[in-house]
Chains A and B, each alone.
Chain A
Amino acid sequence: GAVVSQHPSWVICKSGTSVKIECRSLDFQATTMFWYRQFPKQSLMLMATSNEGSKATYEQGVEKDKFLINHASLTLSTLTVTSAHPEDSSFYICSATVLARYTDTQYFGPGTRLTVL
């Protein structure tokens, strides 16, 4: 149980185009979904927190107009990188959580490798 999928697993795009990444919780309903970014040999950095039906909360330094997040249902969140540039090339990972009484475990997707040419 508690499987999170991401699609696509990798994508290569030209500079200036937009790319959409999907994150799905396959066998549970996710109260909250998170989007992280990981550059080579670096730690995962939280980009934004997304609750179903409400606007995402972005971390400091993350441009909300560039990284559009839509959390339309309890099983799907999407991240759209708009007007992508080479510096946006990274490994994007989502996670989903179900808020339990005291602790909540995050279940991570397999990640999406974005390469912007």
Chain B
Amino acid sequence: SQKIEQNSEALNIQEGKTATLTCNYTNYSPAYLQWYRQDPGRGPVFLLLIRENEKEKRKERLKVTFDTTLKQSLFHITASQPADSATYLCALDSRSGGGADGLTFGKGTHLIIQP
């Protein structure tokens, strides 16, 4: 069966350092992979989308890599700040063309940036 693993339930990082979160998947052939931020009691907020033919994508302090051979994505936050503390979710969509599919989410990694 299809499976997404975010290998840290919680991650503590000192302010200013780079936080790196991991997302591994099995039995998927995703058209693209997405990262979301979720704060307690709130819906997810879209951060970045990376396509299967892209290796890296950046947005401000965020960087995502996508290795379809390893079936892994890494999500980096550079110069981390306490305001970056949240749960970060990896999500996959295995759409093969046309239409829209719902997303399958990992459990998330709770990131805590300590001052």
Decide if A34 is an interface residue (CB 8 Å cutoff).
Answer: yes
Residue of A with least CB distance to B108:
A43
Does A99 reach chain B (CB closer than 8 Å)? yes
Least CB distance, B62 to chain A, in whole angstroms: 15
**Is residue B56 contacting chain A, with contact meaning CB distance below 8 A?**
no
B71 within 8 A of A: no
Q: Give chain A residues whose Cβ lies under 8 Å from the Cβ of B101.
A: 49
Contacts of A107 in B (CB 8 A): 46
Contacting residues, chain A, for B105 (C-beta < 8 A): 43-45
Q: B102, A49: Cβ atoms under 8 Å?
A: yes
Task: Pick from A34, A36, A49, A111: contact of B41, CB below 8 A.
Answer: A111
A106 to B104 Cα, complex, angstroms = 12
Number of A-B pairs whose CB atoms are under 8 Å? 59
Contact between chains at B43 and A111 (CB < 8 Å):
yes
Q: Are B100 and A103 in contact (CB under 8 A)?
A: no
Q: Is the CB of A108 within 8 A of B44?
A: yes
| Nearest CB on B from A33, distance (A) | 10
A110 at the interface (CB under 8 A from B): yes
Contact B102 A110 (CB under 8 A): no
Complex CA gap A109/B36 in Å reads: 13
CB closest chain-B residue, reference A99: B100
Query: With an 8 A cutoff between CB atoms, is B79 at the interface?
Result: no
A41 to B104 Cα, complex, angstroms? 16
Question: B78-115: which have CB < 8 Å to A?
Answer: 89, 99-108
Q: Within the assembled complex, what's the spacing in Å between the Cα atoms of A45 and B105?
A: 7
- Restricting to A3-46, which residues have a CB under 8 Å from any CB of B? 4, 6, 31-32, 34, 36, 41-46
The yes or no answer to B63 lying at the interface (CB within 8 A) is no
Of B34, B36, B99, which is within 8 A of A99 by CB?
B99
A106–B43 contact, CB under 8 A?
no
CB within 8 Å of A: which residues of B? Answer: 4, 32, 34, 36, 41-46, 49, 51, 89, 99-108
Spell out A's residues near B (CB within 8 Å).
Answer: 4, 6, 31-32, 34, 36, 41-46, 49, 59, 91, 93, 95, 97, 99, 102-111, 113
